[in-house]
């Protein structure tokens, strides 16, 4: 099954549901999308071999995650092979950690909401959302909280100013977009924005679990200490009543 165009048995969802300004963007959902992963999609296209090879070599953990239908609830912005060919010299001058960092700019974790649900990104979602910021895998790993920006320019979808190509794909729990350049750098957020992002994450997302668990643990420990001290005090009172002279 080739994935460079709508596959047999696949549903092609236009960006606006019908025809219109975003009708040239197609979102291809293979009939077996409940089990398909970003890695298998990209391997089928034949246009992303360099990205896959670099990802497997420099970020094997990330590669394994994107190979698992359950864990791969991510958005992948995959540069085509010619995009890497145009920066071959730049890559040769990068250390392994720097290459891993660049690759991380192309993976976005789910866009969670306080309710716990998150939208799977589609061309329509990007088009309707205007300018949208997406956290990167690099940001998740380093705590830098770096974000990539998608927007529309002259009715073309872009990420960090790079064109998003017309065909994208749905997978088991995420989406795969194809881009024609490599994101080599992402500007870190300013102090105010970084503080805001961290506050939101603490209030609504993963870090709240740590706070809840810590608070719950403190309460349990406090109750336990109180019970032990209370019991000790009762034992001393009883001992004094039985033997008031301490003999």
Instruction: For the chain, give every domain's residue range.
Output: 11-189, 205-242
Tell me the pLDDT tens digit for each residue of 198-228: 665 556 555 444 445 455 555 656 666 566 5
Q: How far, in Å, CA of 11 to CA of 20, rounded?
A: 18
38-45 helix and 49-58 helix, angle to the nearest 10 degrees: 140
- The more confidently predicted of residues 87 and 112 is 87
Q: Where are the beta strands (DSSP E) in 93-234?
A: 107-108, 132-135, 147-153, 156-159, 162-170, 175-179
* Residue-wise pLDDT tens digits, 226-239: 665 666 656 655 55
Question: Is 48:176 a contact under the CB 8 Å cutoff?
Answer: no
pTM of the model: 0.70
User: Distance between terminal CA atoms of the chain?
Assistant: 92
CATH of domain 11-189: 2.30.180.10
pLDDT digits (tens, 9 = 90+) for 57-71: 999 999 999 999 888
Predicted pLDDT of residue 155: 84
Tokens 């089990």 locate to 35
Confidence (pLDDT) at 73: 86
With H, G, I as helix, E, B as strand and everything else as coil, classify residue 110.
Answer: coil
Q: How many CB atoms lie within 10 A of CB 29?
A: 20
pLDDT of residue 182: 96
């Amino acid at each position: 099954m080739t994935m460079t165009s709508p596959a047999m048995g696949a549903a092609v969802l236009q960006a606006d549901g019908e025809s219109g300004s975003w009708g040239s963007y197609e979102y291809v959902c293979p009939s077996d999308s409940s089990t398909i992963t970003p890695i298998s999609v990209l391997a089928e296209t034949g246009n992303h071999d360099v990205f896959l090879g670099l990802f497997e070599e420099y970020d094997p953990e990330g590669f394994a995650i994107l190979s698992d239908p359950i864990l791969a609830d991510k958005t992948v912005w995959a540069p085509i092979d010619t995009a890497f060919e145009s920066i071959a010299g730049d890559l040769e001058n990068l250390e392994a950690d720097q290459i891993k960092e660049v690759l991380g700019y192309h993976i976005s974790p789910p866009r969670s909401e306080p309710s716990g649900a998150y939208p799977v990104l589609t061309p329509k979602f990007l088009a309707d959302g205007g300018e949208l910021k997406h956290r990167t895998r690099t940001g998740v790993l380093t705590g830098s909280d770096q974000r990539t920006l998608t927007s529309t320019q002259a009715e073309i979808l872009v990420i960090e100013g790079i064109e998003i190509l017309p065909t994208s794909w749905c997978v088991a729990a995420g989406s795969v977009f194809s881009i024609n350049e490599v994101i080599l750098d992402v500007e870190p957020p300013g102090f105010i924005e970084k503080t805001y992002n961290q506050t939101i994450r603490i209030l609504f997302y993963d870090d709240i679990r740590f706070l809840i668990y810590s608070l719950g643990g403190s309460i349990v420990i406090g109750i336990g200490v109180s019970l032990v001290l209370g019991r000790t005090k009762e034992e001393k009172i009883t001992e004094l009543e039985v033997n008031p002279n301490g003999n």
